[in-house]
């Protein structure tokens, strides 16, 4: 469903039924205006465009600080080196990023998207990185990130990452269940429900 004001046939319950917010529309559908004058009719779309804008500028840390909810869940596809697949809480997600940067050098990164689906409060972004991993050497890494936002305000509450396992897949098998004994709220930010 597009946010095209020229298509009045879009259901009124949709956040994106018009280019301008109207009284009585779906909750959380206030317009957001960009510096270039463009208006997003949904906070989810505004969040999506802001995240891409910041990531393209190399400001991923600022994107997390500005756009992530305090109770964010960040989900990796594999639990490598005994680490949890799911990290909960903004400070734990930041710590995970710091740890990642200790082992990875990013030479370049392109960002594609966003690809919003406002009705489900989600959007996707594609990251393509040329990076060097301390353990594996230089590699090309393609990653799809799927973000879920709050219905009001647009803060990101879940970030899921999809990419091929490093080293052909042994990582996921080798460390499956490595943090099954951890509890939600541990200092590591582990969410044992994964």
Per-residue pLDDT of the chain (194 residues; tens, 9 = 90+): 333 333 333 333 334 433 333 333 333 344 444 455 555 468 999 999 999 999 999 999 999 999 999 999 999 998 766 677 999 999 999 999 998 889 899 999 999 999 999 889 999 999 999 999 988 899 999 999 999 999 888 999 999 999 987 665 544 444 443 343 334 444 445 544 44
All residues at 6 or more sequence positions from 19 whose CB lies less than 8 Å from its CB, including other chains = 3, 4, 5, 39, 41
Structural domain span for residue 87: 32-174
What is residue 168's predicted lDDT score, i.e. its pLDDT?
Answer: 57
pLDDT reported for residue 23 = 33
- Whether 36 maps to a domain, the answer reads yes
In a domain, 8, yes or no: no
Q: What CA–CA distance (Å, rounded) separates 66 from 147? A: 14
How many domains does the structure of the chain reveal? Answer: 1
Q: What per-residue confidence (pLDDT) applies to 136?
A: 86
pLDDT at 81: 65
Nearest-5° angle of CA 62, CA 46, CA 58? 30
Residue 110 lies in a domain: yes
* Inter-CA distances, 91 with 56, 61, 72, 169, Å: 23, 12, 9, 29
Q: What is the CATH number of the domain that holds 158?
A: 3.10.450.50
The per-residue pLDDT for 28 is 39
Q: Is 92 exposed, middle or buried (0-12, 13-18, 19+ CB in 10 A)?
A: buried
């Amino acid at each position: 469903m597009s946010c095209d004001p020229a298509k009045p046939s879009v259901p009124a319950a949709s956040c994106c039924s018009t280019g301008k917010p109207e009284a009585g529309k779906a909750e959380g559908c206030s317009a957001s205006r960009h510096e270039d004058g463009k208006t997003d009719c949904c906070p989810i779309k505004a969040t999506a465009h802001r995240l891409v804008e910041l990531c393209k500028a190399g400001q991923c840390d600022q994107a997390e600080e500005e756009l992530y909810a305090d109770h964010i869940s960040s989900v990796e596809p594999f639990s490598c080196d005994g680490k949890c697949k799911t990290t909960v809480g903004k400070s734990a997600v930041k710590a995970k990023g710091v740890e990642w940067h200790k082992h990875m050098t990013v030479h370049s990164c392109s960002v594609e998207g966003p690809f919003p689906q406002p009705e489900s409060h989600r959007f996707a972004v594609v990251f393509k990185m040329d990076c060097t991993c301390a353990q594996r050497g230089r590699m090309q890494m393609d990653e799809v990130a799927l973000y879920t936002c709050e219905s009001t305000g647009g803060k990101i509450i879940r970030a899921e990452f999809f990419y091929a396992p490093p080293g052909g897949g042994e990582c996921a098998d080798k460390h499956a269940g490595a943090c099954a004994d951890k509890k939600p709220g541990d200092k590591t930010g582990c969410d044992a429900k994964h």
